[in-house]
């Protein structure tokens, strides 16, 4: 008998080990970095170190505001280590949704059953996004727990805004992998698209940080749409919505091609 | 035959991949309740045809109806009425057979309680083991079970016995006979004739994307080549040769000396068994052998024309 969302549940059942691993990774990163804030950034030594570094490096890493609690959480986790970790998970899951399944030959048999391609595409996308949402929520929860003990003083509004931006940013990498997988069925293309969009966003943002003449580059980087206006301190600012709009557009294009093309050739 | 009474109908079904044409407009009619076998060498277009029926790939031209519906528009409700075994079966490796089949049951037609277990019993499959630990033959059993378990109106089986041991093949043939008795239609492919010969009513021989022969197994057997041997006294050899040569459809006559004063004449005949027997009846025969018709040879004949045709196309 058909119960609800069989493909969604199958995807979660097949990947829960990975999800548990990534959850542990996120927890480890947060618990390693955040409690260090009072000792590293709070006493002024960090400022001295930053001043001795080349300003280009500081701007590339997004460490310009690292001496404030929100700036520290942003620069270490949401903007760097968390972004890298969860993007890797996102691109892996996104590649697995269609392209990997197609290349290893399993997609053919699933599609020969009583499911439409649109349903398969939607349920597997939903499964990937739910896992990314989970990792984001884990991060939010840990930040809330450590906010006081680590003297971070992150406003709730700012935390939710930057977490939303973070979720959008990692989802964009996943969605790019899903959509390109849906269009081509090729693992390497899907992986390249997901990783490429993440690296592209980060690199263009870092270039835009270098000087005023290059600041216009921020208009073209999803990473800048998410973080350039400093949502963790300022709240709901910037172009966070644009990330979701681009992700949605990519998904639709991927679906339109996927439902029309030959599978497993 | 009307379209609604046929399980599968194709007209001018064509599939092109870029400049390569995999199917050159084939016409097929598979009546309901029949076992239809498709044979052909590797790359003849068998898998392409089957994937078209399941809407995994889409035709470049031509018409296609499965159980009266177009696979493109029939969608998931049509595929629930079909059971499919892919030629290259790849299964999710980490789950147990039982869980994988439960998943396929969720996205398939209704599976009656106990069906999966009884099929697994018949085929001798342990459902509790993870799929990755199963041998190729046992994975194939999982594939067969997912194709049969919802008792679909149409079974599309691409090289179904690949990897199965002879005993399990026997059981599979019994499953086919039962399916046929229940009115299910079976469309199966193979690159060896013997498999199709044992199970199918109708046969299509495919080569290079074209149907070169559409027949029943019975009719194919009638026209098949038979090897014959007559042993006559030395003195009768010239007369026997003349008589044999007059039989319609006779092949090259080979002669071999036997022990003593006899010689054996060997040749091939096709369907004219009666003419052959009457032609040799007037001699004093020491021995007479008519072998079982060799369908494999007949089919290889079709494969052979395939190769020359392929050479010509290049």
Contact B110, A143 (CB under 8 A): no
Q: How far from B14 is each of A83, B84, B129, B157, B311, CA to CA, in Å?
A: 49, 21, 42, 20, 21
- As given in the structure block, the two tokens for residue A99 are 């392209």
As a whole number of Å, the CA-based R_g of chain B is 24
Is the reported ipTM for this assembly greater than 0.85?
A: yes
B188 shares a domain with B61? yes
Contact B110, B68 (CB under 8 A): no
Residue B87, φ and ψ in degrees, nearest 5: -65, -35
In tens, the pLDDT along A159-193 reads: 999 999 999 999 999 999 999 999 999 999 999 99
Candidates A106, A112, A116; nearest CB to B91: A106
Supply the range of the domain harboring residue B96: 3-221
Helices (H), ranges, chain B: 46-53, 71-79, 97-106, 115-123, 136-148, 166-181, 193-199, 217-223, 237-245, 273-281, 295-313
- Which residue out of A3, A5, A114 would a mutagenesis test of the B interface target, given it has the greatest number of B Cβ atoms within 10 Å? A114
Candidates B84, B91, B95; nearest CB to A112: B84
User: CB contact, 8 Å: A4 with chain B?
Assistant: no
Helices (H), ranges, chain A: 6-33, 37-40, 45-52, 55-61, 69-73, 82-95, 101-103, 106-111, 117-147, 156-184, 187-210, 222-227, 231-234, 240-258
- As given in the structure block, the two tokens for residue B86 are 């892919």
Cβ contact (<8 Å) for A2 and B107?
Answer: yes
Lowest mean pLDDT, pick from A16-30, B121-135, B277-291: B277-291
B209: left (phi over 0), alpha (psi -120 to 50) or beta: left
Is pLDDT larger for residue B271 or for residue B112?
B112
Cβ contact (<8 Å) for B77 and A262?
Answer: no
A103: closest chain B residue by CA: B90
User: CB contact, 8 Å: A113 with chain B?
Assistant: yes
- pLDDT reported for residue A171: 98
User: CA of B204, closest CA in chain A: separation in Å?
Assistant: 23
- Residue A10 belongs to some domain of the structure: yes
Mean pLDDT of B80-95: 94
B144 shares a domain with B262? no
Contact A136, A215 (CB under 8 A): no
- Residue B141 belongs to some domain of the structure: yes
In tens, the pLDDT along B208-217 reads: 999 998 988 8
- Angstrom distance (rounded) from CA B94 to CA B132: 6
- Residue B178 belongs to some domain of the structure: yes
User: CA of B129, closest CA in chain A: separation in Å?
Assistant: 16
B239 shares a domain with B187? no
- Residue A110 belongs to some domain of the structure: yes
B269 shares a domain with B129? no
**What is the number of domains present in chain B?**
2
User: CB contact, 8 Å: A111 with chain B?
Assistant: yes
- Angstrom distance (rounded) from CA B251 to CA B266: 9
B195 shares a domain with B87? yes
B192 shares a domain with B140? yes
Chain B residue numbers with beta carbons less than 8 Å from the beta carbon of A110 are: 107
- pLDDT reported for residue A240: 94
CATH label of the domain that carries residue B285: 3.30.70.260
- Residue B299 belongs to some domain of the structure: no
- Residue A148 belongs to some domain of the structure: yes
- As given in the structure block, the two tokens for residue A51 are 């001043």
B155 shares a domain with B212? yes
Mean pLDDT of A82-111: 96
Cβ contact (<8 Å) for A14 and B94?
Answer: yes
**What is the number of domains present in chain A?**
1
Chain A residue numbers with beta carbons less than 8 Å from the beta carbon of B55 are: 111
Mean pLDDT of A104-130: 96
Cβ contact (<8 Å) for B86 and A105?
Answer: yes
* CA nearest to A107, candidates B252, B89, B68, B303: B89
Residue B152, φ and ψ in degrees, nearest 5: -70, 155
- Residue A152 belongs to some domain of the structure: yes
* Residues linked to residue B265 through DSSP beta bridges, in sequence order: B230, B255
Coil vs helix vs strand at B116: helix
- Angstrom distance (rounded) from CA A243 to CA A254: 16
B229 shares a domain with B217? no
- pLDDT reported for residue A20: 97
User: CB contact, 8 Å: A145 with chain B?
Assistant: no
* CA nearest to A194, candidates A207, A217, A182, A178: A178
Supply the range of the domain harboring residue A163: 6-258
Using the CB atoms, write b or e for A70-90: b if 16+ within 10 Å.
bbbbbbbbbbbbbbebbbbbb
- Angstrom distance (rounded) from CA B228 to CA B234: 18
Percentage of chain B beyond pLDDT 70 is 95
CATH label of the domain that carries residue B107: 3.40.50.300
Residues in chain B: 314
B175 shares a domain with B281? no
Contact A222, A197 (CB under 8 A): yes
Chain A residue numbers with beta carbons less than 8 Å from the beta carbon of B146 are: 109
- Angstrom distance (rounded) from CA B96 to CA B262: 67
- Work out the pLDDT band at B3, boundaries 50, 70, 90: very low
B114 shares a domain with B37? yes
B230 shares a domain with B168? no
Cβ contact (<8 Å) for A265 and B57?
Answer: yes
- Residue A264 belongs to some domain of the structure: no
Residues in chain A: 265
- Residue A263 belongs to some domain of the structure: no
- pLDDT reported for residue A66: 83
User: CB contact, 8 Å: A10 with chain B?
Assistant: yes
Helix pair A117-147, A240-258: axis angle to 10 deg: 160
* CA nearest to A265, candidates A110, A108, A97: A108
B230 shares a domain with B217? no
Question: Exposed, middle or buried by CB within 10 Å (0-12, 13-18, 19+), for B311?
Answer: exposed
Contact A80, A61 (CB under 8 A): yes
């Amino acid at each position: 008998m058909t119960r609800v969302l069989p493909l969604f549940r199958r995807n979660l059942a097949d990947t829960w080990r990975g999800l548990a691993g990534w959850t542990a990774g996120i927890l480890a990163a947060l618990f390693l970095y955040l409690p260090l804030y009072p000792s590293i950034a709070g006493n002024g030594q960090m400022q001295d170190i930053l001043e001795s570094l080349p300003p280009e490096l500081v701007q590339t890493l997004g460490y310009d505001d690292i001496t404030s609690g929100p700036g520290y959480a942003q620069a270490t986790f949401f903007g760097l280590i968390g972004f890298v970790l969860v993007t890797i998970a996102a691109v892996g899951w996104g590649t697995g949704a269609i392209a990997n399944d197609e290349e290893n030959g399993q997609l053919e048999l699933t599609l020969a059953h009583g499911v439409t391609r649109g349903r398969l595409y939607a349920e597997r996308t939903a499964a990937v996004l739910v896992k990314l949402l989970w990792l984001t929520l884990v991060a939010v929860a840990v930040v809330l727990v450590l906010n006081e003990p680590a003297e971070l003083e992150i406003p709730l509004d700012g935390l939710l805004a930057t977490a939303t931006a973070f979720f959008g940013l990692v989802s964009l990498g996943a969605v790019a992998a899903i959509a390109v997988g849906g269009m081509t069925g090729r693992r390497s293309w899907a992986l390249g698209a997901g990783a490429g969009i993440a690296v592209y966003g980060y690199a263009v943002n870092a270039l835009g940080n270098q000087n005023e003449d290059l600041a216009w580059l921020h208009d073209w980087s999803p990473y800048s749409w998410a973080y350039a206006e400093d949502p963790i301190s300022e709240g709901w600012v910037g172009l966070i919505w644009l990330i979701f709009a681009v992700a949605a557009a990519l998904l639709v294009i991927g679906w339109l091609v996927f439902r029309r093309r030959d599978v497993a050739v | 035959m009307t379209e609604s009474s046929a399980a599968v109908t194709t007209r001018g079904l064509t599939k092109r991949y870029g400049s390569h044409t995999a199917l050159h407009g084939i016409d097929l009619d598979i009546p309901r309740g029949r076992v239809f076998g498709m044979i052909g060498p590797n790359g003849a277009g068998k898998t392409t045809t089957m994937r078209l029926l399941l809407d995994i790939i889409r035709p470049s031209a031509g018409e296609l109806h499965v159980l009266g519906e177009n696979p493109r528009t029939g969608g998931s409700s049509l595929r629930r009425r079909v059971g499919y075994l892919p030629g290259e079966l790849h299964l999710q490796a980490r789950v147990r057979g039982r869980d994988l089949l439960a998943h396929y049951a969720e996205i398939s037609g209704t599976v009656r309680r106990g069906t999966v277990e009884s099929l697994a019993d018949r085929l001798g499959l342990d459902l509790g083991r993870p799929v990755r630990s199963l041998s190729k033959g046992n994975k194939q059993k999982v594939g067969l079970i997912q194709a049969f378990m919802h008792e679909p109106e149409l079974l599309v089986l691409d090289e179904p016995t690949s990897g199965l041991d002879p005993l399990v093949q026997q059981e599979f043939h019994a499953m086919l006979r039962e399916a046929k008795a229940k009115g299910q239609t079976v469309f199966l492919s193979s690159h060896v004739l013997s498999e199709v010969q044992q199970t199918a009513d109708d046969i299509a021989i495919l080569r290079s994307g074209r149907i070169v022969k559409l027949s029943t197994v019975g009719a194919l057997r009638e026209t098949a080549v038979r090897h014959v041997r007559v042993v006559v006294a030395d003195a009768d050899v010239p007369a026997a040769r003349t008589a044999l040569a007059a039989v319609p459809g006779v092949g090259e006559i080979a002669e071999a000396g036997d022990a003593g004063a006899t010689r054996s004449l060997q040749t091939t005949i096709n369907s004219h068994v009666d003419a052959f027997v009457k032609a040799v009846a007037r001699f004093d025969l020491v021995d007479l052998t008519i072998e079982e018709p060799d369908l494999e040879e007949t089919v290889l004949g079709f494969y052979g024309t395939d190769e020359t045709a392929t050479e010509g196309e290049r």
